Amino acid sequence: MVFTSYLFVFYFLPLVLAGYYALPARSGWRNAWLLLASYVFYGWWNPWFVLLMAGVTAVNYVCGRLIARPGTTPGQRRWSLASAVVLSLGTLCFFKYFVFLQTNLNHILAAFGVGGVPVWQVVLPIGISFYIFHALSYAVDVYRGTARAARSFADFACYIALFPQSVAGPIIRYNTVEHDLRDRSHSAAQFASGITLFILGFAKKVLLANPLGTVADAAFGAQSLDAVGAWFGVVAYALQIYFDFCGYSDMAVGLGRMFGFEFMKNFDAPYRAESITDFWRRWHISLSTFLRDYLYIPLGGNRGTTTRTYANLAIVMLLGGLWHGANWTFIVWGAWHGGLLIAERWAGKRPAYQRLPKPVRIAATFLLVLGSWVWFRAATLGDALLYFRAMLGGGGSSEVGALLAGQLFAPGKLAVMAVALCFLFARRQAHEWSETVTWPKIAVVLLVFILALLAMISQSSNPFLYFQF
Amino acid letter, 429: Q
> Is 107 a catalytic site residue?
no
| Residue tagged active-site, from 107, 134, 179, 324 | 324
CB 172 within 8 A of CB 264: yes
Q: SS3 letters for the chain?
A: CCCCCHHHHHHHHHHHHHHHHHCCCCHHHHHHHHHHHHHHHHHCCCCHHHHHHHHHHHHHHHHHHHHHCCCCCHHHHHHHHHHHHHHHHHHHHHHHHHHHHHHHHHHHHHHCCCCCCCCCCCCCCCCHHHHHHHHHHHHHHHHHCCCCCCCCHHHHHHHHHCCCCCCCCCCCCHHHHHHHHHCCCCCHHHHHHHHHHHHHHHHHHHHHHHHHHHHHHHHHHCCCCCHHHHHHHHHHHHHHHHHHHHHHHHHHHHHHHHCCCCCCCCCCCHHHCCCHHHHHHHCCHHHHHHHHHHHHHHHCCCCCCHHHHHHHHHHHHHHHHHHHCCCHHHHHHHHHHHHHHHHHHHHCCCCHHHHCCHHHHHHHHHHHHHHHHHHHHCCCHHHHHHHHHHHCCCCCCCCHHHHHHHHHCCHHHHHHHHHHHHHHCCCCCHHHHCCCCCHHHHHHHHHHHHHHHHHHHHCCCCCCHHHHC
Residues forming the active site = 324
